[in-house]
Amino acid sequence: QVQLVESGGGLVQPGGSLRLSCGASGNIYNINAMGWYRQGPGEQRELVARISNGDSTTYRDSVKGRFTISRDTSKNTVYLQMNSLEPEDTAVYYCNVVGWRYSGINRQTNFDSWGQGTQVTVSS
């Protein structure tokens, strides 16, 4: 199995910054994509940013120019640098990693794992 551990959430004033981290561990063979989603109270989970092979990135429109996703492939870790935070960014942020894991001799199985979530609150 592949486990994800997130860190970096907290309370910040509008205009402030936070950096989220998510490390993946387990019998990982290959990672195809790593991303961050968020879910506000009473809302559906939505994609915030995603980085895939070749370091291709995708951002939701509302965070473009403010958030930056990056990864350290040697550590199987993805980061989300969040600047100029707004109250509307308040949500639980979830890390998501998809790829392949070792499942036996010369065998790999795809996986789609989620982190436990970390609260980000933007308030004065």
Residue 86 pLDDT exceeds 90: yes
Q: Does position 106 have pLDDT exceeding 90, yes or no? A: no
pLDDT band at 10 (very low <50, low <70, confident <90, very high): very high
Whole-number Å distance between alpha carbons of 9 and 52: 23
pLDDT digit string, tens, across residues 56-68: 999 999 999 999 9
Nearest partner of 46 among 96, 9, 82, judged by Cα: 96
Q: How far apart are the first and last CA of the chain?
A: 40
Residue 55 confidence (pLDDT) above 90: no
